[in-house]
A and B are shown apart, each in its own frame.
Chain A
Amino acid sequence: MRLINRHPGGAVALLLGLAPFLVLILIYGAASQQRLAENPNDKLLPGLEQMTSAVNRMAFQEDRRSGDYLMWQDTKASLQRLGIGMGIAASLALVVGLLNGILPLARAGLAPLVSTLSMIPPLAILPILFIVFGLGELSKVMLIVIGTAPIMMRDVAQRVRELPQEQLIKIQTLGANTWQVITRMALPQVLPRLIDAVRLSLGPAWLFLIAAEAIASEEGLGYRIFLVRRYLAMDVIIPYVIWITLLAIVIDQLLRLTNRRLFPWYNAGGH
């Protein structure tokens, strides 16, 4: 049988999926053990023991100086920035994208601007944001908004324009005015696509968040990683990275499930 026609069964697929992770863990474990055997104080490749104790210290014991549980505090700060940033970006993307997608007049006025904005490398304007909005929360949220909104706007507009022309004509023959065309045809069909766009933008959003936190912040996951880097504290950095990855996966899956739940027609191929 041709290779392209050979599909793995459920159990095999699961094993194949897990195998690379196991291999990576094993390689890391072996390398770490070797280094630790040579030098028990080695910081570069901490073992499981060092990492659990670091997590224990960061997440389940009060910080001696501030009395906070640092990891939770960092998580809360970062998620809050991410949530507000993505919330604003998605709302903007929805409004601008819908208008651009459906109103030729809006498109003529806004599309060139949106395209240009989406070409600006967001990190290049981070200094401007710091200067304009100060070093507080606002500049970090703004970086996420500016970094993700223009691309999502374009995406939403594109999705609206991909709706079959026939539908647009049809709803007009049912007597819809422009407002009704937007609210009853375009908006409901574009919402699940917006959620998909948010899922795709979460990667860049994390990037901008961590970059902003690394440069100017007092708390946050990115801040912590870059802070402890000075002490070569790989035992903190690695668990933090794993934690961020887990958070990203959970958020992504939650969005996917939301999409399934709210829009049964979308995932069943009804578009």
Chain B
Amino acid sequence: MSFITVNRLWKEYGSTIVLENLNLEVEQGEFCTLVGASGCGKSTFLKMLLGQEGPTRGELALEGEEFPGEPDRNRGIVFQRYSVFPHLTVRQNVLMGLELEQKPFLGKLFGQARRQALEKVDAMIESVGLAHATDKWPHELSGGMQQRLAIAQSFIMRPRVLLLDEPFGALDPGIRGDMHELILKLWRETGTTIFMVTHDLQEGFYLGTRLLVFDKVRNDPQQPEAYGATITYDLPIGETNGQLYDSIESSVSKTARNLSA
């Protein structure tokens, strides 16, 4: 039995079919990148992994058990934006998860327990390279720093699954490179299973262990919502080549044009 099992999964909103017949098995510790045209359901898939949305049909299982129907501390998430709490400093943002876990009622740590937690927090802040900004407010940070903070906030909980929805979409290419290194480092250290959505096929091709391409196989120009997307390519990273890259690229952009037409 694999860690995550997706079996004949469908997702519909009313008469709109977003995802159709998804089948997938993911082992613990894999790093899957998801690419696909805008609007083809990548975020929807992450929402289902998170428990924010349920499947319309089919099976979605974590270690053989049905996915919990609401978000929990085992599945972390980093969104493109709004992932950190504006009313907390960098340090308080990272500390938050530990406090919530240890103090169900107060939600705050004091004294010795707080000092111990802060040691962990500071180490985590250090490892995402925000040590110089520990006491800053999020609005004082650049976009890249905010994403580092969001990543630290999620990783400190050591979630079993980490979902990243275009986490670097708003960052410039130079900073993206740094962020890739950061995420790979934390991934190796923690062994978390990662799903990352990206618009950058290049990113998808070289980051992680496995590339999942979401695409529509069928398309009805009169009725674009009649068919959903499914996983058209499921490739181990490293066994890819330029020709494949071009063919995925052209297929995805064709779907993108259809979707936006």
Q: Do A and B come from one complex?
A: yes
Q: Which of B76-84, B171-179, B249-257 lies at the interface?
A: B76-84
**A183-B107, A264-B137, A270-B138 known; A173 vs B76 contact (CB < 8 Å):** yes
A173's partner among B72, B104, B140 (CB-CB below 8 A) is: B72
B 122-157 contacts with A by CB, 8 A? 137-140, 150, 153-154, 157
Among all A-B residue pairs, the 4 with the closest Cβ atoms: A175-B73, A270-B139, A174-B97, A172-B71
B157's partner among A164, A167, A174, A184 (CB-CB below 8 A) is: A174
Nearest residue, chain A, Cβ from B51: A172
B 152-187 binary contact with A (CB < 8 Å = 1; else 0)? 011001010000000000000000000000000000
Alpha-carbon distance between A271 and B100 when the two chains are bound, in angstroms = 22
Chain A residues with Cβ below 8 Å from B101 are 174-175
Alpha-carbon distance between A265 and B88 when the two chains are bound, in angstroms = 8
Q: Assess the B154–A173 pair: CB atoms within 8 A.
A: yes
Interface residues of chain A, those whose CB is within 8 Å of chain B, are 164, 166-167, 169-177, 179-180, 183-185, 188-189, 263-266, 268-271
Nearest residue, chain A, Cβ from B89: A265
6 interchain pairs, CB-CB under 8 A:
A170-B79, A172-B71, A176-B100, A177-B100, A184-B96, A268-B140
Of the listed residues A169, A170, A173, A266, the one surrounded by the most CB atoms of chain B closer than 10 A to its CB is A173
B110 within 8 A of A: no
Q: Assess the A268–B139 pair: CB atoms within 8 A.
A: yes
Alpha-carbon distance between A199 and B256 when the two chains are bound, in angstroms = 49
B 40-80 binary contact with A (CB < 8 Å = 1; else 0)? 00000000001010000000000000000011110111010
Chain A residues with Cβ below 8 Å from B75 are 173
**A166-B81, A264-B137, A270-B138 known; A177 vs B87 contact (CB < 8 Å):** no
B85 within 8 A of A: yes
Q: Assess the A167–B82 pair: CB atoms within 8 A.
A: yes
B13 within 8 A of A: no
Interface residues of chain B, those whose CB is within 8 Å of chain A, are 50, 52, 70-73, 75-77, 79, 81-87, 96-97, 99-101, 104-105, 107, 137-140, 150, 153-154, 157, 159
Q: Assess the B104–A177 pair: CB atoms within 8 A.
A: yes
Chain A residues with Cβ below 8 Å from B96 are 171, 174, 184
Chain B residues with Cβ below 8 Å from A266 are 87
Q: Assess the A265–B83 pair: CB atoms within 8 A.
A: no
Of the listed residues B97, B101, B104, B107, the one surrounded by the most CB atoms of chain A closer than 10 A to its CB is B107
Chain A residues with Cβ below 8 Å from B104 are 177, 179-180
Chain A residues with Cβ below 8 Å from B82 are 164, 166-167
B52's partner among A169, A174, A189, A271 (CB-CB below 8 A) is: A169
Alpha-carbon distance between A266 and B155 when the two chains are bound, in angstroms = 27
**A180-B100, A180-B107, A265-B137 known; A173 vs B50 contact (CB < 8 Å):** yes
CB distance from A37 to the nearest CB of B (A): 61
**A172-B71, A174-B157, A175-B157 known; A270 vs B86 contact (CB < 8 Å):** yes
Q: Assess the A166–B79 pair: CB atoms within 8 A.
A: yes
CB distance from A108 to the nearest CB of B (A): 18
CB distance from A106 to the nearest CB of B (A): 18
Q: Assess the A188–B87 pair: CB atoms within 8 A.
A: yes
CB distance from A78 to the nearest CB of B (A): 35
Nearest residue, chain B, Cβ from A179: B105
Alpha-carbon distance between A193 and B183 when the two chains are bound, in angstroms = 36
**A166-B81, A180-B100, A270-B138 known; A173 vs B87 contact (CB < 8 Å):** no
Q: Assess the A174–B139 pair: CB atoms within 8 A.
A: no
Q: Assess the B100–A263 pair: CB atoms within 8 A.
A: no
Chain A residues with Cβ below 8 Å from B105 are 179
Chain B residues with Cβ below 8 Å from A271 are 86-87
Alpha-carbon distance between A189 and B87 when the two chains are bound, in angstroms = 6
A170's partner among B77, B99, B107 (CB-CB below 8 A) is: B77
Q: Assess the A263–B70 pair: CB atoms within 8 A.
A: no
CB distance from A245 to the nearest CB of B (A): 34
B100's partner among A166, A169, A174 (CB-CB below 8 A) is: A174
Alpha-carbon distance between A268 and B100 when the two chains are bound, in angstroms = 27
Q: Assess the A172–B87 pair: CB atoms within 8 A.
A: no
